[in-house]
Amino acid sequence: MPINSKKLLRQFLIWKYKHISERQFIYILSVLVGVFAGMGTVVLKNLTHYIRSLLELDFLKNYQNTLYFIFPMIGLALVYIIKQTWLKKHIGHGISTTLYGLSKLNGILPRYNIYAALITAPLTAGFGGSVGLQGPAVSVGAALGSNTAQFFHMSTKTRLLLIGCASAGAMASMFKAPIAAVVFAVEIFSLDIAFTSLVPLLLASISAVITSYLFLGTDVLLHVDLTDNFNFKDIPLYILLGIVTAITSVYFSKVFFAITNFFKQFESRAVRLLIGGLAIGTMLYFIPPLYGEGYGIMNNLLKGDHIAAIGKMPFNFDLTNIWVVIGLLLGIAVFKAVAMTTTFGAGGVGGIFIPTLIMGSVLGNVFAKIVNNIGLNLSVPEANFTLLGMTGLMAGVLHAPLTAIFLIAEITSGHELFVPLMIVAAISFAITKYYVSHSIYTMKLAERGELLTHDKDQNVLMVLNIDKVIETNFIELSPDMKLKDLLENAVAKSSRNHFPVVNENREFMGVVLLDDIRHIMFKTDLYDKIDVSSLMHADADIISYEGDSMNVIMDKFKNSGAWNLPVIKHGKYYGYISKSKLLTAYRRQLIKHTK
């Protein structure tokens, strides 16, 4: 920042300190980041739409299916070139990256996150990658929120809150659903729902929606006009749909992790691009509705036009036969998860939120069609079950039942579906949670102990930096060192009463405590007879630098009763952690996050 700019900022901060309270300033910043998030979402949507419109020119329409095979590879290749030659940085999945930034980076998100997804996500989705824009929108908004907080030198707690505000703004702008956006921020990012955080979330959400209206008008992504209300006799069908969406959610999650692990075995990004691009192109050639985000599928199903939802297929199917239609729709549902994850594996940038909605809408619609045509004289509203399917998949795949309920309730502009929404979401979430402990967003973070939850104690432990509590100024002993050398070169020169024993490869062998040698310290006749190997013993426990989270480390202190434990890094002795220093660091971090 130029010197004059720094001076102006300093003067503004002094003025702000004198005239505006901290809470009022947070309200102002929440509106600001809401506007920023709304504008970021608008840019994402418009760029994607513009790219898509360029690829739908009249002279290309006769070759549409063939071009569906080629376009995704072009988009993925462009993303690859941008990553390799310009960004030269990793672009993770938007919501997962934001969660990691909250838990391990104190909400300090890199500035390049603002523009990286703005460029690469439209190229991925616009050229046919089967991904959504909600994740990139959250990534852009979160980076804007973080950097706004950093610019005004806000506290860590406020920085985390503004990231949540920006994420809510991105959601609100995308779906024009401000209440669901607040619920999304609280549920996904485990934000505090106290009054001090709720008002900024609401302000950000509202300002983002207004921004979206200013630039995009009143048009919404999902067009729904409910004509059928809740029917008590359909409750068994709601329960059954909840079970079906739960099974599908487990399938979605398992497919995602399986395909992701498959691509990880290829170290070369170019190889991933080639394999993934060919796979995506093949799927889109045979199943064109998988192309891009897929909002047309949802909206056409909600309007009852399954012919338009299926679109132009490469083969002639009898679409007057309802069971052929059901089969084709099931194919779309089954392969949506495969196409989405393959796009990620090939290097594409996007989100899973909208693909989850697409898959859920198709599944709910198919469920209603089967019920209506199975010959049991049943009749259920297909539009309602299309919405319920979306709710079930969101609740199961994203582990976000409240977001699912409020989003669908809000976009339908009514509360007629609240009971069935709650039934389907609760059943889907409960069953999926049993088989898949964490969502796609949070699984890897949870495995590494880096996931924020509503447990404040665990969150404080999670953000502690292990390097800041490790002490390395212990005098090391070798196993063959004599008692005399131990006393002269270790005990006499150290204020510690712990002496780690390591071999020539710096592998930890054990420890000698001052209490272990106190009774023989002055027996000079033993100085050359006793060596360290006969005095050392195993420590109460061992801390793994790479494998143990702060929560695990705290448990090891609790279970062992020790006040000092050795740290092993890459199989070598590294240092010690003392309980007193760990508790001091914990107390400081707790004050930092609550002030």
DSSP string, 167-208: HHHHHHHHHT-HHHHHHHHHHHH----SHHHHHHHHHHHHHH
Mean pLDDT on 113-139: 89
* The pLDDT value given to residue 62: 58
Mean pLDDT on 309-317: 80
Phi then psi for residue 501, to 5 deg, are: -110, 125
Q: Which residues are CB-contacts of 366 (< 8 A; sequence separation ≥ 6)?
A: 326, 329, 330, 333
pLDDT in tens, 168-184: 999 999 888 889 999 98
Residues of the chain within CATH 1.10.3080.10 domain(s) are 3-216, 232-456
pLDDT in tens, 217-268: 766 666 666 666 767 888 999 999 999 999 999 999 999 999 989 998 888 8
* Global confidence as pTM: 0.77
Query: Is residue 69 very low, low, confident or very high in pLDDT (cuts 50, 70, 90)?
Result: confident
* The pLDDT value given to residue 553: 84
Residues of the chain within CATH 3.10.580.10 domain(s) are 458-594
For residue 192, is pLDDT > 80? no
Q: Which of 440, 64, 68, 56 is nearest to 290 (CA)?
A: 68
The rounded distance, in Å, linking the Cα atoms of 14 and 331 is 62
* The pLDDT value given to residue 65: 62
* The pLDDT value given to residue 59: 45
For residue 274, is pLDDT > 80? yes
Query: Is residue 490 very low, low, confident or very high in pLDDT (cuts 50, 70, 90)?
Result: confident
Inter-helix orientation angle 156-175/579-594, to 10°: 50
Q: Which residues are CB-contacts of 468 (< 8 A; sequence separation ≥ 6)?
A: 585
* The pLDDT value given to residue 208: 93
* The pLDDT value given to residue 176: 87
* The pLDDT value given to residue 357: 92
The rounded distance, in Å, linking the Cα atoms of 449 and 548 is 8
pLDDT in tens, 424-450: 999 999 999 999 888 887 776 666 555
pLDDT in tens, 378-424: 888 888 899 999 999 999 999 989 999 999 888 876 677 888 999 99
Task: List helix spans (H) across 346-417.
Answer: 353-373, 382-397, 401-411
CATH superfamily of 458-594: CBS-domain (3.10.580.10)
Query: Is residue 285 very low, low, confident or very high in pLDDT (cuts 50, 70, 90)?
Result: confident
pLDDT in tens, 365-382: 999 999 999 888 888 888
Mean pLDDT on 81-102: 78
Q: Of all residues in the chain, what percent carry a pLDDT higher than 90?
A: 27
For residue 98, is pLDDT > 90? no
> Could you tell me the two tokens for 165?
């505000």
Query: Is residue 52 very low, low, confident or very high in pLDDT (cuts 50, 70, 90)?
Result: confident
Task: List helix spans (H) across 287-381.
Answer: 295-302, 306-310, 322-345, 353-373
* The pLDDT value given to residue 459: 58
* The pLDDT value given to residue 342: 93
pLDDT in tens, 40-50: 999 999 999 88
For residue 317, is pLDDT > 90? no
HSE, side-chain direction, 13 A CA sphere, residue 541: 19
Higher pLDDT, 458 or 305: 305
Query: Is residue 468 very low, low, confident or very high in pLDDT (cuts 50, 70, 90)?
Result: confident
* The pLDDT value given to residue 592: 61
Averaged confidence pLDDT in the chain: 84
Higher pLDDT, 100 or 85: 85
Query: Is residue 460 very low, low, confident or very high in pLDDT (cuts 50, 70, 90)?
Result: low
- Check whether domain 232-456 has CATH 2.40.10.10, yes or no: no
- Check whether domain 3-216 has CATH 1.10.3080.10, yes or no: yes
* The pLDDT value given to residue 426: 96
The rounded distance, in Å, linking the Cα atoms of 38 and 186 is 18
